[in-house]
Amino acid sequence: LSSENCSTFLTCCGSLDTSLKRFWEIESVSKTIKLDPEEAAAELIFLQNHSRNDDGRYSVSLPIKPNSPSLPDTRETAKRQLINLETRLKRNPEVFEEYRNFMDDYKSQGHMSLSFTPSVY
């Protein structure tokens, strides 16, 4: 019969304290965040324009890029689409009533409101 011998040796030179310290230094999250110029501009717009209304909700201006092309006026297109939608819904009075109830509920919850001021967007 032959017998095989297996020997294993382990040498640990570092202390547990040093290993843990090194681990947390590698894994720690950086406190400084590098922002690219666009992100920095958006952050500045937020800091200069955000506010909180009486309900506790935040109001923030949209961070529109400078020199961005102006968007076309789509009010008439949206109005036409709304009229077409209502015309289709009126063909089925039950569905139209559900749609109106949903929109009334949406408005009563404060998710939408009638605006009389023109928007710059």
The domain spans of the chain are: 35-64, 72-113
What pLDDT digit, counting tens, does each position of 18-45 carry?
888 888 887 777 677 788 988 888 888 8
Q: Which residues contact 99 (CB under 8 A, 6 or more apart)?
A: 89
Give 6's pLDDT tier (boundaries 50, 70, 90). Answer: confident
Reply yes or no on whether the pLDDT at 120 is more than 70.
no
**For residue 13, pLDDT beyond 80:** no
Residues 99, 82: Cα–Cα separation, whole Å: 12
pLDDT tens-digit readout, 51-93: 998 988 888 887 777 788 877 888 889 999 999 999 999 999 9
